[in-house]
Amino acid sequence: MRLEQAWEIFRRTGVMLEGHFRFTSGLHSDRYMQCARLFQYPAESARVCGEIAEAFQGKNVNIVVGPALGGIIIAYEVARVLGARSLFAEREEGVMTLRRGFADAVMEGCRALVTEDVVTTGGSTREVMELLRGQGAEVVGVGAVVDRSNGTVDFGVPFYALATLDMKAWDAADCPLCRQGVPLIKPGSRK
């Protein structure tokens, strides 16, 4: 899939939002990629996740793990394409954990792929990677729909994103939208 095709899917499904947003990392931006809108459309989701899965063919992935909430559908669909198990990690008292019996699925030496909807700083993804490594898994890669870091995030493993973007983000203290009084929206799943 070419980048233009990905953008056409993003436009058609209403993924790109404009306004004043606060990310999970605390950074502010004038744009937000709401991938949940993409996942309303199973056929489009399958195309996008199929591209991510293709990037990791031949890596012998046993499990695909996404952080809740944004990575759940991606993990499922990528795992389906790769013939692997699909799990998700979620926060319990602020700490990323494998609940619902998922910890039993992570065996010593299993090969894990971490998936995410949007990577900005990579914080949630790194938490999942450390969680899996702590359970004895080998993390063989990271896949995402969107890389907002413009390719600057380094996970120490192969990283594939369908779209890599250079989108402005500011610390709250330096945010021009805050200075202009533009209302702030926190659209993500984590409060």
In a domain, 98, yes or no: yes
Give the global pTM.
0.85
Asked if residues 131 and 89 have their Cβ atoms less than 8 Å apart, the reply is yes
pLDDT in tens, 11-56: 889 888 889 999 877 889 998 888 889 999 999 999 999 999 999 9
Residues of the domain holding 95: 3-179
Residue 99, domain CATH: 3.40.50.2020
Both tokens of residue 179? 């200075």
Distance CA 175, CA 155 (A): 27
In a domain, 186, yes or no: no
Q: What is the pLDDT of residue 189?
A: 56
In a domain, 169, yes or no: yes
Q: What is the mean pLDDT of residues 142-152?
A: 91
In a domain, 185, yes or no: no
In a domain, 133, yes or no: yes
Residues of the chain above pLDDT 70, percent: 97
Looking up tokens 């995402």 gives 144
Query: What is the domain count for the chain?
Result: 1
pLDDT in tens, 86-121: 999 999 888 888 888 777 877 888 999 999 998 988
In a domain, 50, yes or no: yes
In a domain, 184, yes or no: no
The angle subtended at Cα 138 by Cα 84 and Cα 91, nearest 5°, is: 80
**Looking at this protein, which amino acid is placed at residue 11?**
R
In a domain, 188, yes or no: no
Q: What is the pLDDT of residue 21?
A: 92
3-class SS string, 109-175: CCEEEEEEEEECCCHHHHHHHHHHHHCCCEEEEEEEEEECECCCCCCCCCEEEEEECECCCECHHHC
Q: What is the pLDDT of residue 109?
A: 84
Q: What is the mean pLDDT of residues 77-87?
A: 96
